Amino acid sequence: MTTKTDFAMKAENVSVWFGERKVLEDVNLTFPAKQVTALIGPSGCGKSTFLRTLNRMHELIPGAGLAGSIYLDGQDIYGEEVDAVSVRIKVGMVFQKPNPFPTMSIQENVLSGLKLSGRKIENAAEIVETSLRRASMWNEVKDRLNDQATSLSGGQQQRLCIARSLAMNPEVLLMDEPCSALDPGSTRRIEETISELRDSMSIVIVTHNMQQAQRVSDLTAFFLADDNTPGGVVEFGETQQVFHGPIDSRTNDYVNGHFG
Amino acid sequence: MTNDLNIQPWRRTSLFRKLQVLLAIVVPLPLVMLIALLAGLDLTMSFITIFVPVQLLAAGAVGYFSYGRRGVGDAALIVITTFLSMFVLILLFSVLWSVVSEGFKALSPQFIYQNNKYVEPTTSLEYGGVGHAILGTLLLVLLTTIVAVPLGFAMAIYLTQSQSKARNMVRTFTQAISGLPSVVSGLFILAIIEATGIGRSGITGAMALFPLMLPTVARVAEESLKLVPVDLRYAALALGSPNYRAFFRVILPAAKTGLLTAVLLGLARIVGETAPLILTLNPNSSTNLNPFDGGLMALPTYVYNYLASYYDTSQARAWGASLVLLVLVAILFGSARIIGRQKSSKSKGKK
């Protein structure tokens, strides 16, 4: 059903509205397979909004509008025949604030995606262990898998949310400022997790942290919105190039901390 | 850090200050009583008119000595809140006490399980009881609940989970019904009874209670569903969950305690209702478990019927029935709480 492509996802001429207000205009980005792409830019430039269009979470907001095409495995995920649920199974998401399910145990949280998407779980114990290992928290929680998820620390909760997404074996993992609510130690562990995961999936991460973008990403897209105009991509390229030899002067100003 | 074992936690208040506070609490009362005795005032009146200001002054003075001007406001606030809460507590307990003390006179095992079939107004309290009224109340509450709770929950789910434009209309409508006086609800059913010629029965009583329970359940359930963070719903949807599964597996379990409260408040709303039942029930003194036919007695209507009587024994029966009603409500609430707790601890301890 899929045509093999060298990119995991591709956005073509994507524009986004909230009601009457256009917040993104004509975004064209290609996310190569098994690479980490960072989306940077000042607050309110639309990068989180763009991220949410990649797994069709954007349309859950009342009044949300979208134009353009986003391809996953060569198929337009906004195509008429495509079900949003099937997209979200392939494109996982980690939110800014850790949001494990409070009524479930750690183990149930890891398996929640499979249950919620209606799949059969055959080797539960194995899935739980692999997913928690990949999120590098197996050793911390292996003795208390039946504890409530809310008993974990903030950093652990966020890694549990990553494990929950990994249990689904997504092709693409979207991360919306996953470390903004965490301490440096937890941040470092999540960054390590990201670099381990890049062999098996494509990752798109929104971050406000310039150092983090440089540490974890292969490619970087810089978003910017001028006053009262829709946001858009100013520059997109290899992370090294965007940070050390940007073409656009606005990118240069931003990555060097002159504004934003 | 020292490892001196003799180190004690800080005492935040010195003994001297504690003494001051104690004086401010203890001194005003005898002082006021003394003044009242010397001036020959009525004790209750002087308590209300003099004691509060004296206590305020005393507390204010201590507050001033301890913390300066800031302390005066604090002290005044403490005194006022204490008095107001005591006022409410005294009211509450005096009501409770009068029911318990009066009701206890009529109470006996046979009073709980017997009905009033052969009881005349003058029959002594050793015969007859409220058994039929307890069963009647339970039957009415059950009938109303099995219709009102699913519908109320359905309304709450509609109001919180859908994006429909009709939501505001439904919400306004629910609020309007919740303001409906219970007697009007009874009158409405009475009009139906008169118009259609169906006889009064348990069903007509439950119909009159239904509009009272529904908005309470719907509104409280709506509030408790609203309290579930939208993040959780997004998290479930982002994992590829269809809407209905996100609701049943994630949102509903998170709102469970609130939903239980909704049912309890709904029960509380109807269990003591009298006016609509007077209009729609055929009072009966024998046991009847058929909701479709025949007379039915509920505890509130029992109280109403017997309290109006001239005879002492009848009045004692009314008090007894009030006590039984109070206990019944307590049992209903307590068991619901316990069931709710067991379910949540079961999911916690599923090892």
B59 and B156 share one domain:
no
Contact A117 B236 (CB under 8 A): no
pLDDT in tens, A75-112: 899 988 888 899 999 999 999 999 999 999 999 999 99
Among A147-151, B45-49, B175-179, B199-203, name the one with the lowest average pLDDT. B45-49
Q: Using CB atoms, which residue from B237, B245, B347 is nearest to A88? A: B237
Chain A CB contacts of B250 under 8 Å are: 101, 103, 112, 116
pLDDT in tens, B5-27: 677 777 777 778 788 888 888 88
How many other CB atoms are there within 10 angstroms of residue A197's CB atom? 18
The dihedrals phi and psi of B347, each to the nearest 5 degrees, come to: -70, -25
B98 and B140 share one domain:
no
More confident residue, B330 or B51: B330
pLDDT at A202: 93
- Does residue B169 fall inside a structural domain? yes
Q: How far is B187 from chain A (nearest CA, A)?
A: 43
pLDDT in tens, B283-294: 887 788 888 888
B45 and B93 share one domain:
yes
From the candidates B239, B243, B250, which should be mutated to test the interface with A, based on the most A CB atoms within 10 A? B239
Q: What pTM was estimated for this model as a whole?
A: 0.78
Q: How far is A99 from chain B (nearest CA, A)?
A: 6
Judging by DSSP bridges, how do beta strands A21-32 and A64-72 pair with one another? unpaired
pLDDT at B2: 53
B295 and B149 share one domain:
yes
> Which of B103, B119, B144 corresponds to the end of one domain?
B103
- Does residue B21 fall inside a structural domain? yes
- Does residue A117 fall inside a structural domain? no
**CA angle centred on B287, ends B284 and B293, rounded to 5°:** 65
Domain that holds residue A183: 7-99+172-255
How many domains does chain B divide into? 2
Label residue B3 by pLDDT band (50, 70, 90).
low
B285 and B144 share one domain:
yes
Label residue B324 by pLDDT band (50, 70, 90).
very high
Contact B234 A62 (CB under 8 A): no
The CATH number assigned to the domain holding A231 equals 3.40.50.300
B154 and B52 share one domain:
no
- ipTM of the modeled complex: 0.89
How many domains does chain A divide into? 1
pLDDT at A113: 92
Chain B CB contacts of A117 under 8 Å are: 239-241
Using an 8 Å CB-CB cutoff, list residues of chain A that contact chain B: 55, 57, 60, 62, 85-86, 88-89, 92-93, 95, 97, 99-103, 105, 112-113, 115-118, 146, 148, 161, 164-165, 168
B149 and B285 share one domain:
yes
Chain A CB contacts of B227 under 8 Å are: none
pLDDT at B346: 44
Chain B CB contacts of A88 under 8 Å are: 237-240
Contact A101 B242 (CB under 8 A): no
pLDDT at B47: 73
> Which of B58, B85, B103 corresponds to the end of one domain?
B103
Q: Count Cβ neighbours within 10 Å for each residue of B31-59 and write b for 16 or more, e otherwise.
A: ebeeebeeeeeeeeebeeebbeeebbebb
Q: Show Cβ contacts of residue B254 under 8 Å, excluding neighbours closer than 6 positions.
A: A101, A102, A103, B228, B232
Domain that holds residue B19: 15-103
Q: How far is B233 from chain A (nearest CA, A)?
A: 9
B189 and B277 share one domain:
yes
Q: How far is A150 from chain B (nearest CA, A)?
A: 12
B28 and B145 share one domain:
no
- Does residue B5 fall inside a structural domain? no
More confident residue, B5 or A255: A255
- Does residue A47 fall inside a structural domain? yes
- Does residue A123 fall inside a structural domain? no
B51 and B182 share one domain:
no
pLDDT at B306: 87
- Does residue B7 fall inside a structural domain? no
Strands (E), chain B: none
B171 and B94 share one domain:
no
Contact A112 B163 (CB under 8 A): no
pLDDT in tens, B114-159: 887 777 777 777 778 888 899 999 999 999 999 999 999 999 999 9
Does residue B323 carry a pLDDT above 80? Answer: yes
- Does residue B1 fall inside a structural domain? no
What one-letter code names the amino acid at A86?
S
Label residue B188 by pLDDT band (50, 70, 90).
very high
Contact A112 B249 (CB under 8 A): yes
pLDDT in tens, A210-254: 999 999 999 999 999 887 788 899 999 999 999 998 898 889 888
- Does residue A13 fall inside a structural domain? yes
B90 and B174 share one domain:
no
The CATH number assigned to the domain holding B239 equals 1.10.3720.10
Chain A CB contacts of B237 under 8 Å are: 57, 60, 88
Q: What is the mean pLDDT of residues A166-170?
A: 92
- Does residue A198 fall inside a structural domain? yes
The pair of structure tokens assigned to A76 is: 């337009």
pLDDT at B199: 83
- Does residue A141 fall inside a structural domain? no
Q: How far is A165 from chain B (nearest CA, A)?
A: 7
- Does residue B87 fall inside a structural domain? yes
- Does residue B113 fall inside a structural domain? no
